[in-house]
Amino acid sequence: MNDTKESGPVGPMRQVGQLGQVRKMAEAAEAAGVAGVEEAAEAAGVAEVDGIQERLKAYEGRAAAIAGAGKDPVNAPMIRHWCEAMGDTNTAYRGPDAVAPPTMLQAWTMGGLSGHTDRSEAYDGLLALLDGAGYTSVVATDCEQEYLRPLKPGDVITFDAVIESVSERKTTKLGTGHFVTTRMDVRAGGELAGTHRFRILKYAPASKRSWGKRPRPVINRDNAEFWEGVAAHRLLIQRCAECATPRFPWLPGCNACGSQEWDAVEASGSGTVFSYVVMHHPPFPAFDPPYAVGLIELAEGVRMVSNVVGVPYDKVRIGMPVQLEFRRVDEELELPVFRAAAGSEV
Protein backbone atom coordinates (compact mmCIF):
# COMPACT_ATOMS: atom_id res chain seq x y z
CA MET A 1 0.00 0.00 0.00
CA ASN A 2 1.34 3.40 -0.93
CA ASP A 3 1.21 6.26 1.54
CA THR A 4 -0.30 9.43 0.10
CA LYS A 5 -0.35 12.98 1.38
CA GLU A 6 -2.60 15.90 0.61
CA SER A 7 -0.65 18.94 -0.52
CA GLY A 8 -1.09 22.08 -2.54
CA PRO A 9 -4.73 22.78 -3.41
CA VAL A 10 -6.01 19.34 -2.44
CA GLY A 11 -6.64 20.27 1.24
CA PRO A 12 -8.80 23.34 0.48
CA MET A 13 -10.63 21.42 -2.25
CA ARG A 14 -11.43 18.71 0.27
CA GLN A 15 -12.78 21.31 2.71
CA VAL A 16 -15.03 22.83 0.05
CA GLY A 17 -16.29 19.37 -0.80
CA GLN A 18 -17.17 18.75 2.86
CA LEU A 19 -19.02 22.04 3.11
CA GLY A 20 -21.04 21.11 0.06
CA GLN A 21 -21.76 17.74 1.61
CA VAL A 22 -23.13 19.37 4.76
CA ARG A 23 -25.31 21.73 2.71
CA LYS A 24 -26.78 18.77 0.86
CA MET A 25 -27.35 16.97 4.15
CA ALA A 26 -29.11 20.03 5.54
CA GLU A 27 -31.42 20.14 2.51
CA ALA A 28 -32.10 16.43 2.82
CA ALA A 29 -32.72 16.86 6.56
CA GLU A 30 -35.33 19.54 5.94
CA ALA A 31 -37.12 17.39 3.38
CA ALA A 32 -37.08 14.42 5.76
CA GLY A 33 -38.15 16.40 8.81
CA VAL A 34 -34.80 16.03 10.56
CA ALA A 35 -33.98 18.90 12.91
CA GLY A 36 -30.77 20.21 11.34
CA VAL A 37 -27.19 19.77 10.19
CA GLU A 38 -26.02 17.97 13.31
CA GLU A 39 -28.77 15.35 13.09
CA ALA A 40 -28.28 14.99 9.33
CA ALA A 41 -24.58 14.41 9.78
CA GLU A 42 -25.19 11.83 12.49
CA ALA A 43 -27.79 10.08 10.32
CA ALA A 44 -25.25 9.88 7.50
CA GLY A 45 -22.58 8.56 9.86
CA VAL A 46 -20.09 11.38 9.19
CA ALA A 47 -18.73 14.36 11.10
CA GLU A 48 -20.29 17.78 10.46
CA VAL A 49 -17.12 19.18 8.91
CA ASP A 50 -13.61 18.20 9.89
CA GLY A 51 -12.00 20.99 11.87
CA ILE A 52 -14.75 23.59 11.46
CA GLN A 53 -14.63 24.53 15.14
CA GLU A 54 -10.92 25.26 14.88
CA ARG A 55 -11.47 27.41 11.82
CA LEU A 56 -14.28 29.29 13.54
CA LYS A 57 -12.17 29.89 16.65
CA ALA A 58 -9.41 31.32 14.46
CA TYR A 59 -11.66 34.34 13.83
CA GLU A 60 -11.81 35.29 17.53
CA GLY A 61 -9.96 38.52 18.22
CA ARG A 62 -10.03 39.66 14.60
CA ALA A 63 -11.54 42.99 13.60
CA ALA A 64 -15.19 43.07 12.56
CA ALA A 65 -15.16 46.78 11.67
CA ILE A 66 -12.26 49.23 11.47
CA ALA A 67 -12.41 53.01 11.82
CA GLY A 68 -16.19 53.10 11.43
CA ALA A 69 -17.92 56.46 11.44
CA GLY A 70 -21.46 57.35 12.44
CA LYS A 71 -23.47 58.66 9.52
CA ASP A 72 -24.75 61.57 11.59
CA PRO A 73 -23.48 63.39 14.67
CA VAL A 74 -25.54 63.01 17.82
CA ASN A 75 -28.53 65.27 17.18
CA ALA A 76 -31.71 66.52 18.82
CA PRO A 77 -34.22 65.28 16.17
CA MET A 78 -33.11 61.66 16.54
CA ILE A 79 -33.21 61.98 20.32
CA ARG A 80 -36.75 63.40 20.13
CA HIS A 81 -37.98 60.64 17.80
CA TRP A 82 -36.41 57.98 20.04
CA CYS A 83 -38.01 59.38 23.19
CA GLU A 84 -41.41 59.67 21.50
CA ALA A 85 -41.23 56.08 20.26
CA MET A 86 -40.13 54.79 23.67
CA GLY A 87 -42.53 56.99 25.65
CA ASP A 88 -39.55 58.37 27.64
CA THR A 89 -40.37 61.81 29.07
CA ASN A 90 -37.19 62.32 31.12
CA THR A 91 -36.31 66.04 31.02
CA ALA A 92 -32.59 65.20 30.70
CA TYR A 93 -33.20 64.42 27.02
CA ARG A 94 -34.54 67.82 25.96
CA GLY A 95 -33.60 71.45 26.27
CA PRO A 96 -30.29 73.30 25.79
CA ASP A 97 -28.31 70.93 28.03
CA ALA A 98 -29.88 67.74 26.67
CA VAL A 99 -27.99 64.46 26.51
CA ALA A 100 -28.89 61.39 24.48
CA PRO A 101 -30.58 58.44 26.22
CA PRO A 102 -27.79 55.96 27.01
CA THR A 103 -29.68 53.14 25.28
CA MET A 104 -29.32 55.02 21.97
CA LEU A 105 -25.63 54.02 21.95
CA GLN A 106 -26.04 51.63 19.02
CA ALA A 107 -28.32 53.99 17.09
CA TRP A 108 -25.44 56.38 16.34
CA THR A 109 -23.41 53.59 14.72
CA MET A 110 -26.08 51.97 12.55
CA GLY A 111 -25.68 52.12 8.78
CA GLY A 112 -29.34 52.20 7.77
CA LEU A 113 -30.56 50.61 4.55
CA SER A 114 -27.42 51.64 2.66
CA GLY A 115 -25.20 49.98 5.25
CA HIS A 116 -21.56 50.64 6.13
CA THR A 117 -18.46 50.12 4.00
CA ASP A 118 -16.16 49.51 6.95
CA ARG A 119 -17.09 45.88 7.77
CA SER A 120 -13.97 43.75 7.70
CA GLU A 121 -13.10 40.87 5.39
CA ALA A 122 -12.66 38.71 8.50
CA TYR A 123 -16.28 39.18 9.57
CA ASP A 124 -17.55 38.49 6.06
CA GLY A 125 -15.31 35.42 5.95
CA LEU A 126 -16.70 34.12 9.25
CA LEU A 127 -20.28 34.47 8.05
CA ALA A 128 -19.40 32.83 4.73
CA LEU A 129 -17.86 29.87 6.56
CA LEU A 130 -21.00 29.45 8.66
CA ASP A 131 -23.25 29.81 5.60
CA GLY A 132 -21.19 27.21 3.76
CA ALA A 133 -21.56 24.77 6.66
CA GLY A 134 -25.35 25.01 6.40
CA TYR A 135 -25.96 27.63 9.11
CA THR A 136 -27.75 29.99 6.77
CA SER A 137 -30.36 31.45 9.14
CA VAL A 138 -29.62 34.20 11.64
CA VAL A 139 -31.35 35.67 14.67
CA ALA A 140 -30.16 38.30 17.15
CA THR A 141 -30.25 36.88 20.67
CA ASP A 142 -29.09 39.56 23.09
CA CYS A 143 -26.90 42.61 23.66
CA GLU A 144 -24.98 44.18 26.52
CA GLN A 145 -24.04 47.83 26.80
CA GLU A 146 -21.71 49.77 29.10
CA TYR A 147 -21.99 53.55 29.26
CA LEU A 148 -18.86 55.54 30.09
CA ARG A 149 -19.92 59.10 29.36
CA PRO A 150 -23.10 60.88 28.17
CA LEU A 151 -23.43 61.66 24.47
CA LYS A 152 -24.50 65.19 23.58
CA PRO A 153 -25.82 66.79 20.38
CA GLY A 154 -22.88 67.59 18.15
CA ASP A 155 -20.71 64.64 19.25
CA VAL A 156 -19.05 62.94 16.26
CA ILE A 157 -19.21 59.17 16.60
CA THR A 158 -16.52 56.68 15.54
CA PHE A 159 -16.24 53.02 16.37
CA ASP A 160 -14.23 49.82 16.04
CA ALA A 161 -15.56 46.29 16.43
CA VAL A 162 -13.94 42.94 17.13
CA ILE A 163 -15.15 39.34 16.87
CA GLU A 164 -15.04 38.53 20.56
CA SER A 165 -16.16 34.89 20.55
CA VAL A 166 -17.61 32.07 18.46
CA SER A 167 -19.29 29.35 20.49
CA GLU A 168 -19.05 25.64 20.06
CA ARG A 169 -21.95 24.09 18.18
CA LYS A 170 -25.18 24.48 20.16
CA THR A 171 -28.60 22.91 19.68
CA THR A 172 -31.52 25.25 20.39
CA LYS A 173 -35.25 25.12 19.74
CA LEU A 174 -34.64 27.17 16.61
CA GLY A 175 -32.03 24.73 15.33
CA THR A 176 -28.35 23.86 15.57
CA GLY A 177 -25.67 26.49 15.12
CA HIS A 178 -23.05 28.79 16.61
CA PHE A 179 -23.36 31.97 18.67
CA VAL A 180 -21.19 34.83 17.40
CA THR A 181 -20.45 37.75 19.74
CA THR A 182 -18.98 41.04 18.57
CA ARG A 183 -17.83 43.90 20.78
CA MET A 184 -18.02 47.48 19.54
CA ASP A 185 -16.12 50.35 21.18
CA VAL A 186 -17.98 53.61 20.56
CA ARG A 187 -16.07 56.89 20.74
CA ALA A 188 -17.16 60.52 20.77
CA GLY A 189 -14.51 62.97 19.66
CA GLY A 190 -11.97 60.19 20.05
CA GLU A 191 -12.94 59.50 23.69
CA LEU A 192 -14.39 56.10 24.61
CA ALA A 193 -18.07 56.66 25.36
CA GLY A 194 -19.37 53.11 25.67
CA THR A 195 -19.15 49.49 24.58
CA HIS A 196 -21.79 47.41 22.86
CA ARG A 197 -21.73 43.61 22.75
CA PHE A 198 -24.07 42.05 20.22
CA ARG A 199 -24.73 38.32 19.91
CA ILE A 200 -26.32 36.46 17.02
CA LEU A 201 -27.08 32.81 16.40
CA LYS A 202 -26.18 31.47 12.96
CA TYR A 203 -28.15 28.25 12.67
CA ALA A 204 -29.69 25.57 10.51
CA PRO A 205 -33.45 25.70 11.22
CA ALA A 206 -35.06 22.80 13.03
CA SER A 207 -38.01 21.17 11.37
CA LYS A 208 -41.40 22.49 12.45
CA ARG A 209 -42.26 19.07 13.82
CA SER A 210 -39.55 19.49 16.45
CA TRP A 211 -40.79 22.91 17.58
CA GLY A 212 -42.35 23.03 21.01
CA LYS A 213 -44.33 25.46 23.08
CA ARG A 214 -44.05 29.21 22.99
CA PRO A 215 -41.10 30.62 24.93
CA ARG A 216 -41.90 31.21 28.58
CA PRO A 217 -41.87 34.82 29.85
CA VAL A 218 -38.97 35.75 32.12
CA ILE A 219 -40.56 36.47 35.49
CA ASN A 220 -38.52 38.27 38.13
CA ARG A 221 -39.11 40.39 41.22
CA ASP A 222 -39.66 43.50 39.09
CA ASN A 223 -42.52 42.09 36.98
CA ALA A 224 -43.97 39.21 39.02
CA GLU A 225 -47.06 41.24 39.97
CA PHE A 226 -47.79 41.92 36.30
CA TRP A 227 -47.85 38.20 35.50
CA GLU A 228 -49.98 37.51 38.56
CA GLY A 229 -52.44 40.01 37.09
CA VAL A 230 -52.40 38.25 33.72
CA ALA A 231 -53.22 34.97 35.44
CA ALA A 232 -56.24 36.71 36.98
CA HIS A 233 -57.21 38.32 33.62
CA ARG A 234 -56.15 41.79 34.77
CA LEU A 235 -53.77 44.02 32.82
CA LEU A 236 -51.77 45.89 35.46
CA ILE A 237 -49.57 48.90 34.80
CA GLN A 238 -47.37 50.79 37.22
CA ARG A 239 -48.08 54.32 38.48
CA CYS A 240 -45.42 56.46 40.14
CA ALA A 241 -46.32 57.29 43.73
CA GLU A 242 -44.53 60.66 43.48
CA CYS A 243 -45.57 62.15 40.13
CA ALA A 244 -48.42 59.75 39.14
CA THR A 245 -46.80 59.00 35.76
CA PRO A 246 -47.98 55.61 34.42
CA ARG A 247 -45.34 53.29 33.01
CA PHE A 248 -45.04 50.10 31.05
CA PRO A 249 -43.14 47.78 30.80
CA TRP A 250 -42.64 47.27 34.50
CA LEU A 251 -39.48 48.91 35.84
CA PRO A 252 -38.02 49.44 39.31
CA GLY A 253 -37.98 53.24 38.95
CA CYS A 254 -39.91 56.09 37.31
CA ASN A 255 -38.37 57.39 34.08
CA ALA A 256 -39.98 60.80 34.66
CA CYS A 257 -38.88 61.68 38.21
CA GLY A 258 -36.66 58.75 39.24
CA SER A 259 -38.78 57.72 42.22
CA GLN A 260 -38.73 54.07 43.18
CA GLU A 261 -42.13 54.26 44.88
CA TRP A 262 -45.15 53.04 42.88
CA ASP A 263 -48.45 51.25 42.93
CA ALA A 264 -50.25 49.11 40.35
CA VAL A 265 -53.49 50.05 38.60
CA GLU A 266 -55.65 48.00 36.27
CA ALA A 267 -55.82 49.21 32.67
CA SER A 268 -59.19 49.45 30.97
CA GLY A 269 -57.97 47.37 28.03
CA SER A 270 -58.97 49.93 25.41
CA GLY A 271 -56.30 51.10 22.99
CA THR A 272 -55.22 51.83 19.45
CA VAL A 273 -52.50 50.49 17.17
CA PHE A 274 -49.68 53.02 17.47
CA SER A 275 -47.38 51.06 15.11
CA TYR A 276 -46.98 47.49 13.90
CA VAL A 277 -44.84 45.06 11.95
CA VAL A 278 -45.78 41.91 10.03
CA MET A 279 -43.45 39.02 10.81
CA HIS A 280 -42.57 36.85 7.81
CA HIS A 281 -39.07 35.55 8.63
CA PRO A 282 -37.33 33.97 10.41
CA PRO A 283 -39.82 31.41 11.70
CA PHE A 284 -39.80 30.91 15.47
CA PRO A 285 -40.97 27.95 17.53
CA ALA A 286 -44.73 27.78 18.03
CA PHE A 287 -45.38 30.74 15.69
CA ASP A 288 -46.88 30.49 12.24
CA PRO A 289 -45.90 33.48 10.08
CA PRO A 290 -47.06 35.79 8.70
CA TYR A 291 -48.63 37.49 11.71
CA ALA A 292 -48.98 41.05 12.99
CA VAL A 293 -47.18 42.35 16.07
CA GLY A 294 -48.55 45.67 17.27
CA LEU A 295 -47.29 48.46 19.49
CA ILE A 296 -50.53 49.24 21.30
CA GLU A 297 -51.14 52.62 22.92
CA LEU A 298 -53.46 52.08 25.87
CA ALA A 299 -56.04 54.63 26.96
CA GLU A 300 -53.88 55.22 30.06
CA GLY A 301 -51.07 56.61 27.87
CA VAL A 302 -48.57 53.75 27.95
CA ARG A 303 -47.64 51.41 25.13
CA MET A 304 -47.10 47.66 25.04
CA VAL A 305 -46.17 45.10 22.42
CA SER A 306 -48.64 42.32 21.71
CA ASN A 307 -50.37 40.42 18.93
CA VAL A 308 -53.25 41.99 17.01
CA VAL A 309 -55.96 39.39 16.45
CA GLY A 310 -59.42 39.24 14.93
CA VAL A 311 -58.30 40.76 11.62
CA PRO A 312 -56.03 39.45 8.82
CA TYR A 313 -52.40 40.43 9.29
CA ASP A 314 -52.47 42.56 6.12
CA LYS A 315 -55.49 44.55 7.34
CA VAL A 316 -53.90 45.92 10.51
CA ARG A 317 -53.64 49.72 10.35
CA ILE A 318 -52.15 52.49 12.49
CA GLY A 319 -54.90 54.08 14.57
CA MET A 320 -57.06 50.95 14.53
CA PRO A 321 -59.05 50.64 17.80
CA VAL A 322 -58.41 47.44 19.73
CA GLN A 323 -59.65 45.84 22.93
CA LEU A 324 -57.78 43.62 25.37
CA GLU A 325 -58.53 39.94 25.65
CA PHE A 326 -56.63 37.02 27.14
CA ARG A 327 -55.72 34.08 24.93
CA ARG A 328 -54.53 30.67 26.09
CA VAL A 329 -51.65 29.59 23.85
CA ASP A 330 -51.01 26.24 25.53
CA GLU A 331 -52.05 24.35 28.64
CA GLU A 332 -49.67 26.38 30.83
CA LEU A 333 -49.57 29.86 29.31
CA GLU A 334 -52.13 32.62 28.82
CA LEU A 335 -51.18 35.98 27.26
CA PRO A 336 -52.78 39.40 26.79
CA VAL A 337 -53.58 40.13 23.12
CA PHE A 338 -55.62 42.85 21.42
CA ARG A 339 -58.61 42.23 19.21
CA ALA A 340 -59.46 44.69 16.46
CA ALA A 341 -62.78 46.38 17.11
CA ALA A 342 -65.68 45.25 14.93
CA GLY A 343 -65.95 47.29 11.75
CA SER A 344 -62.44 48.77 12.11
CA GLU A 345 -60.98 46.80 9.19
CA VAL A 346 -59.93 49.06 6.33
Q: How far is CA 141 from CA 197, 217, 219, 229, 278, in A?
A: 11, 15, 18, 28, 19
Distance, CA of 332 to CA of 154 (rounded, Å): 51
Does residue 272 register a pLDDT over 70? yes
Distance, CA of 238 to CA of 245 (rounded, Å): 8
Q: Checking DSSP bridges between strand 334-340 and strand 303-309, what pairing results, if any?
A: parallel
Does residue 206 register a pLDDT over 50? yes
Phi, psi of 250, rounded to the nearest 5 degrees: -65, 130
pLDDT given for residue 10 in this prediction: 34
Distance, CA of 230 to CA of 311 (rounded, Å): 23
Does residue 256 register a pLDDT over 80? yes
First to last CA, the chain: 78
Distance, CA of 282 to CA of 138 (rounded, Å): 8
For 48-77, how does the pLDDT look when each residue is reduced to its tens digit (9 = 90+)? 444 788 999 999 999 999 889 999 999 999
Does residue 181 register a pLDDT over 60? yes
∠ CA 60-64-66, rounded to 5°: 130
User: Does the CA dihedral 7-12-13-14 come out positive or negative?
Assistant: positive
- Using a cut of 0.85, tell me whether the model's pTM lies above it: no
pLDDT given for residue 20 in this prediction: 47
Phi, psi of 340, rounded to the nearest 5 degrees: -65, 135
Distance, CA of 282 to CA of 135 (rounded, Å): 13
Largest CA distance in the chain: 87
pLDDT given for residue 310 in this prediction: 93
**Which of 105-114, 117-126, 248-257, 279-288 bottoms out in mean pLDDT, i.e. has the lowest?**
279-288
User: Does the CA dihedral 212-214-219-224 come out positive or negative?
Assistant: negative
pLDDT given for residue 46 in this prediction: 35
pLDDT band at 276 (very low <50, low <70, confident <90, very high): very high
Contacts of 203 by beta carbon, 8 Å cutoff, 6+ apart: 36, 135, 137, 138, 139, 172, 174, 175, 176, 177, 178
Does residue 17 register a pLDDT over 70? no
Q: How far is CA 128 from CA 79, 123, 149, in A?
A: 36, 9, 36
Distance, CA of 287 to CA of 208 (rounded, Å): 10
Among 30-34, 50-54, 223-227, the range of highest mean pLDDT: 223-227
